[in-house]
Amino acid sequence: MIRIIIIDDDPLIRDEISFLLHRHPEEFELLFAAGSMGQFFEQLQLDKKPDIVLLDISLSEQNSLDQAGKLQRLLPEARIIIITGHKEPEFLMKALKKGAHGYFVKSSQPERILDVIRETHKGGTFIEPQMASALLGFFRTEQEEKAPSDNILERIQKLNAGLHPRESEVGVGLATGMSYKEIASAHNIGINTVRHYVKSLYKKLGISSKQELVKLLED
């Protein structure tokens, strides 16, 4: 028996999934259906935990992905399946990073949710086939965006100047055109700390400006 909780602010979706689950009482048990995270926490009984949580990605009251981590801590044995109308790979990536085990698009045939639940309960991770190519493209784009910084870091490290890791990171920021403020924000440090690392970086490399740093890395 697979025990399930639905969290979705659309009553039609809740009713539709509930109807499908109730057609298979020997296989599924719907513990309850909540219209908000507040209702979920009010109705949850820790002595009767779900195996699967069907979680709407965009509840009207808040971004439910922000609650995914809390759900994982509260229900470590439960597997979370995102149910959503969003087909953009960015949403899928965020969901997976938050610990989701499945991603079901509501425009798909409703009865397919039963197979998604079965597959996910067995330990699989379900991703809509129609999103596979988009997800691959997202990974490629993300990798291409990261590549310049990764290459610059490799070049800085090959200078063998005995740089502190933070000096190398600051050097990457400078070489990619970031301001002191942007570097400080990216690494959660103060601007004065950035200035300190820039000064020590320049000293170790025997240079005095960002332009010289860029030229050094191009040689």
2-127 against 146-218: fold identical: no
What is the structure's pLDDT at 32? 97
Which amino acid would we find at residue 156? I
Q: Which letter does DSSP use for residue 104 in this model? A: E
- How many residues would you count in the chain? 219
What is the structure's pLDDT at 109? 82
Q: Are 83 and 33 in contact (CB under 8 A)?
A: no
Query: What angle (nearest 5°) sits at the alpha carbon of residue 12, between those of residues 8 and 15?
Result: 85
What is the structure's pLDDT at 147? 45
Per-residue pLDDT of the chain (219 residues), as tens digits, is: 999 999 999 999 999 999 999 999 999 999 999 998 889 999 998 888 999 999 998 776 566 677 777 788 889 899 999 998 887 777 787 787 778 888 898 877 888 999 999 999 998 888 877 676 666 555 555 555 544 555 788 888 888 778 888 898 898 888 888 889 889 888 888 999 999 999 999 999 999 998 888 888 876
What is the structure's pLDDT at 127? 80
Q: How far is CA 78 from CA 52, 54, 168, 205, 217, in A?
A: 5, 10, 41, 53, 49
Q: Domain map of the chain by residue range?
A: 2-127, 146-218
Domain 146-218 belongs to what topology?
Arc Repressor Mutant, subunit A (1.10.10)
Tell me the two tokens of residue 67: 């609650």
Q: Give the architecture-level CATH label for domain 2-127.
A: 3-Layer(aba) Sandwich (3.40)
What is the structure's pLDDT at 202? 92
What is the structure's pLDDT at 86? 80
What is the structure's pLDDT at 103? 87
What is the structure's pLDDT at 51? 96
What is the structure's pLDDT at 140? 56
Q: Are strands 2-7 and 58-59 parallel, antiparallel or unpaired?
A: unpaired
